[in-house]
Structure 1
Amino acid sequence: MFSLGQENISTSPASTKGPVKYGELIVLGCNGSLPTGDKGRRKSRFALCRRNKANGVKPSTVHSPGTPQAAKAVNNKEQHSISYTLSRAQTVVVEYTQDSNTDMFQIGRSTETAIDFVVTDTLPGGHGHADGQTVQSTISRFACRIICQRNPPYAARIYAAGFDSSKNIFLGEKAAKWRMQDGQMDGLTTNGVLVMHPRHGFSQASKPGLWREMSVCGNVFTLRETRSSQQRGKMVDPESNELVDGSLVDLCGATLLWRTAEGLAQTPTVKHLEALRQELNAGRPQCPVGLNTLAFPSLRRKDVVDERQPWAYLRCGHVHGYHGWGGRRDPEVEPECQERECPMCRTRGPYKPLWLGCEAGFYVDAEPPTHAFVPCGHVCSEKTTAYWSQIPLPHGTHTFHAACPFCIEPLGGESGCIRLIFQSPLD
């Protein structure tokens, strides 16, 4: 498991097994590690663990526009504050005070030390992350913060926007903002922080929930017409900003899965996935045409096509070895996108190499890999493919579509996944 790596973390007083872990955030589309490798605060999964010293904050004093106290709060680099700009001449400043009962973790695109988990835009197809210098990122530099209770039940709550290195959050004139009945201010960030809590936990019985938007103060709203609209959605009073096992957090450019420590304890390990791979290979599946034995490559070699690599026709599910025939050449279609005709059943469809899903945190059960996502060819359990193919993930600023969690490639076909049909050896 990955540890925090930035600040010392405390061990449980009742346990010598290591730090108290609140949970982990896992980036969708990374399949076990970033394409360029996990380095420092930039990695595919991030463990939130109890810190040696509490660093949580909570709102305290609201300063009216133009008062000396407001300017003092903003300029004090030891004091957390949020500034709500109503007009050029009017800024309401809300002072935040230390909270000894909570730990704060910040997520965003910025590499400043105030950010604990650096997240960059994820490209579909598992081809890596967008380079912020060449592609305009839609992820905020200080996207969101998660506040965790230091004592059981270790509740984790999410809030839009993070504090910068000067401990400030600034909501400009164009940001949606408003004053609440208790006098406190609230607002939304430019592209917003969306959260979806699954129904029935993160298990075989899981069903997708509704996407909501989280405000700077942690209130829950229906979605705006577009991500950056200045008109906020309707407040959803009964719903909470508390993350549950399987909650999805979308930062407009990257989507993160929250897994609680308890949920991860029930999740298959990489060791278990490796055992399933070996068991699958021990069955010596064969290419029904070439009769050569097929084998899934090791999890470490998850991106290199092997000569014994299983390939599949993803409309019918028949598994073969690679062969170069059966396709009709269309000069206007990329070779990897051209459809092939299955020699077993004559069904035409995508013909792709199969890859095992290596990120154990995406699995809703520990069952064998029997199904593949269409059209990327990532393989995992039936219930896992069924769950993810139901989830509309945010795409761009106003659309949603189901995607493979291992590579974020949009799903196609009738159901987004297919049961694989392996040919057993004839001897």
Structure 2
Amino acid sequence: NSSVGLQGDDYNSSVGPQAVGEMIITVVYNGSLPNGDRGRRKSRFSLSKRPKANGVKPSTVHAACTAQAAKAISNKDQHSISYTLSRGQTVVVEYTHDNNTDMFQIGRSTESPIDFVVTDTVAGSQSNSDTQSVQSTISRFACRVMCQRTPPYTARIYAAGFDSSKNIFLGEKAAKWKTCDGQMDGLTTNGVLVMHPRHGFTEDSKPGVWREISVCGNVFTLRETRSAQQRGKMVEAESQELVDGSLIDLCGATLLWRTAEGLSRTPTIKHLEALRQEINAARPQCPVGFNTLAFPSMRRKDTPDEKQPWVYLQCGHVHGYHNWGSHRDRDREQGWSRECPMCRATGPYVPLWLGCEASFYLDTAPPTHAFSPCGHVCSEKTAMFWSQIPLPHGTHTFHASCPFCAQQLSGEQGYVRLIFQGPLD
């Protein structure tokens, strides 16, 4: 599973020219895609007010296979959603232009209607060679976000996106139903899940509850399994409106929605770089080799260098790389059982990497904690928050993951407090 980020709130913000907010592939890439950002396939996507509104809203409902229904489907200038109830019955809902909204579409397809192309990524991958092509569970036209063009620039999410012919087709096997007001609604095969954090995306944030969003933007409890035909219960008290820190799961990629206002309170890359230099200026030392340790430049994220700090994840003691306490057993030599020379605790021994995607940080505090078992470093509040978030994994399970590389967290808490030794002089 991968994660991406979206950002969106105030069309006139510091995020970009008239940016509404941003989406960021939340878990996985530590600031960039393995192949680099290219065109519409990138690790973050800013939503900005379009020169001309392209939003749509439902209008006419055709309850039978009439000539008008067929015309709505074949007309490439007409948006429509088709609900196939049986081989002989299809309900077609026409959509009309909405001058008040902008529409942004997200999915695996590289066709032109998709604004933000997302793909599955192997958890923990750092380079192109690590990313294997796997059978994707992300829909080609996964979801759409509708943003109001006037304050407060509300952004709402809907399952499914319109294809190149401006159609959405829900086949016989898709969960679908008629609503009490005579409209149609449905769910996509693997669904679009959303979680809004409690208390916003701040130092006080707590995980919310995962819900499923329908094609018409209604909110439901989760199905028994990801692609079950029976929908969950409708949650009328909750909304599909995105808030700062909302997580959107597309079954293979998880997106983080950041508002422009929220991003103004988030550390910048410059701030993270200043924190890196501050740690290095304190000249932390390896307690065994007495050599000075230094976090490498945030651009270097692949192979550890000779000054790289390493940590014993069982206790948090930070060292340089050394062979003290290693076992001959080959599996253990790969870092899975080393004895800390400071306290004799035995466990994984891994290099430390600064988390580079600033949008994942809840505060601007120093990077004092590391995720286990990957060694990505961030602030205490950030580590605590992400370790409590059950992210969807595959079609059946949920588990906490590092937001910078998507690796499943291990250990009692999923993170450890780092213990540095200062210079002896």
TM-score bin, normalised by smaller chain: over 0.9
Does residue 312 of structure 1 match 2:311? yes
Q: Deviations over 1:218-242 (max 9, x none)?
A: 0000000111000100000010000
Please tell me whether the aligned partners of residues 403 and 411 of structure 1 are also in contact (alpha carbons under 8 angstroms). yes
- 1:412 and 1:133, CA in 2 relative to 1: closer, same or farther beyond 3 A? closer
Alpha-carbon offset, residue 324 of structure 1? 2.5
Q: What letter matches 1:303 in structure 2? A: D
Alpha-carbon offset, residue 323 of structure 1? 1.0
Q: What letter matches 2:409 in structure 1? A: L
Q: Counterpart in 1 of 2:3?
A: none
Q: Counterpart in 2 of 1:370?
A: 368
Q: CA RMSD in A?
A: 1.9
Whole-Å Cα distance in 1 between the matches of residues 232 and 91 of structure 2?
A: 22
- 1:211 and 1:344, CA in 2 relative to 1: closer, same or farther beyond 3 A? same
Q: Deviations over 1:31-69 (max 9, x none)?
A: 111011000000000001100000000001100121111
Whole-Å Cα distance in 2 between the matches of residues 129 and 104 of structure 1?
A: 32
- 1:301 and 1:127, CA in 2 relative to 1: closer, same or farther beyond 3 A? closer
Q: Counterpart in 1 of 2:356?
A: 358
Alpha-carbon offset, residue 303 of structure 1? 2.2
Whole-Å Cα distance in 1 between the matches of residues 329 and 231 of structure 2?
A: 47
Q: Equivalent of 2:394, from 371, 393, 396?
A: 396
Please tell me whether the aligned partners of residues 295 and 309 of structure 1 are also in contact (alpha carbons under 8 angstroms). yes
Does residue 339 of structure 1 match 2:337? yes
Q: Counterpart in 2 of 1:244?
A: 243
Alpha-carbon offset, residue 325 of structure 1? 3.6
Whole-Å Cα distance in 2 between the matches of residues 336 and 363 of structure 1?
A: 30
Please tell me whether the aligned partners of residues 329 and 338 of structure 1 are also in contact (alpha carbons under 8 angstroms). no
Q: Counterpart in 2 of 1:382?
A: 380
What does 1:18-417 align with in structure 2 at a 5 Å threshold?
19-27=17-25, 28-127=27-126, 134-331=133-330, 333=331, 335-417=333-415
Whole-Å Cα distance in 2 between the matches of residues 140 and 262 of structure 1?
A: 30
Whole-Å Cα distance in 2 between the matches of residues 249 and 97 of structure 1?
A: 26
Whole-Å Cα distance in 2 between the matches of residues 144 and 131 of structure 1?
A: 27
- 1:314 and 1:368, CA in 2 relative to 1: closer, same or farther beyond 3 A? same
Alpha-carbon offset, residue 339 of structure 1? 1.2
- Please give the TM-score of this superposition, normalised by the length of structure 2: 0.95
Alpha-carbon offset, residue 398 of structure 1? 1.1
Alpha-carbon offset, residue 127 of structure 1? 3.6
SS at match of 2:124: helix
Whole-Å Cα distance in 2 between the matches of residues 40 and 17 of structure 1?
A: 18
Unmatched tracts of structure 1, length 5 or more: 5-10
Please tell me whether the aligned partners of residues 402 and 408 of structure 2 are also in contact (alpha carbons under 8 angstroms). yes
Whole-Å Cα distance in 2 between the matches of residues 335 and 17 of structure 1?
A: 45
Unmatched tracts of structure 2, length 5 or more: 1-5
- 1:67 and 1:77, CA in 2 relative to 1: closer, same or farther beyond 3 A? same
Alpha-carbon offset, residue 327 of structure 1? 2.4
- 1:131 and 1:103, CA in 2 relative to 1: closer, same or farther beyond 3 A? farther
Whole-Å Cα distance in 2 between the matches of residues 313 and 210 of structure 1?
A: 34
- 1:17 and 1:227, CA in 2 relative to 1: closer, same or farther beyond 3 A? closer
Please tell me whether the aligned partners of residues 317 and 419 of structure 2 are also in contact (alpha carbons under 8 angstroms). yes
Alpha-carbon offset, residue 30 of structure 1? 1.2
Q: Counterpart in 2 of 1:7?
A: none
Whole-Å Cα distance in 2 between the matches of residues 282 and 114 of structure 1?
A: 49
SS at match of 2:52: coil
SS at match of 1:228: coil
Alpha-carbon offset, residue 338 of structure 1? 2.1
Whole-Å Cα distance in 2 between the matches of residues 362 and 193 of structure 1?
A: 21
Whole-Å Cα distance in 2 between the matches of residues 266 and 17 of structure 1?
A: 12
Alpha-carbon offset, residue 17 of structure 1? 9.8
Q: What letter matches 2:415 in structure 1? A: C
SS at match of 1:301: coil
Whole-Å Cα distance in 1 between the matches of residues 117 and 129 of structure 2?
A: 13
- 1:277 and 1:84, CA in 2 relative to 1: closer, same or farther beyond 3 A? same
SS at match of 2:73: helix
Q: Deviations over 1:284-337 (max 9, x none)?
A: 000000000000001111223111000000110000000124222334x37435
Whole-Å Cα distance in 2 between the matches of residues 73 and 274 of structure 1?
A: 54
Q: Deviations over 1:150-173 (max 9, x none)?
A: 010000000000000100000000
Whole-Å Cα distance in 2 between the matches of residues 305 and 121 of structure 1?
A: 26
Q: What letter matches 1:189 in structure 2? A: T
Whole-Å Cα distance in 2 between the matches of residues 40 and 313 of structure 1?
A: 40
Please tell me whether the aligned partners of residues 121 and 130 of structure 1 are also in contact (alpha carbons under 8 angstroms). no
- 1:251 and 1:152, CA in 2 relative to 1: closer, same or farther beyond 3 A? same
Whole-Å Cα distance in 1 between the matches of residues 72 and 89 of structure 2?
A: 15
Alpha-carbon offset, residue 20 of structure 1? 1.7
Whole-Å Cα distance in 2 between the matches of residues 21 and 49 of structure 1?
A: 4
Whole-Å Cα distance in 1 between the matches of residues 402 and 16 of structure 2?
A: 33
Q: What letter matches 1:96 in structure 2? A: Y
Please tell me whether the aligned partners of residues 296 and 305 of structure 2 are also in contact (alpha carbons under 8 angstroms). yes
Whole-Å Cα distance in 1 between the matches of residues 251 and 132 of structure 2?
A: 17
Q: What letter matches 1:426 in structure 2? A: L
Please tell me whether the aligned partners of residues 198 and 247 of structure 1 are also in contact (alpha carbons under 8 angstroms). yes
Q: What letter matches 2:403 in structure 1? A: P
Q: Counterpart in 2 of 1:8?
A: none
- Please give the TM-score of this superposition, normalised by the length of structure 1: 0.94
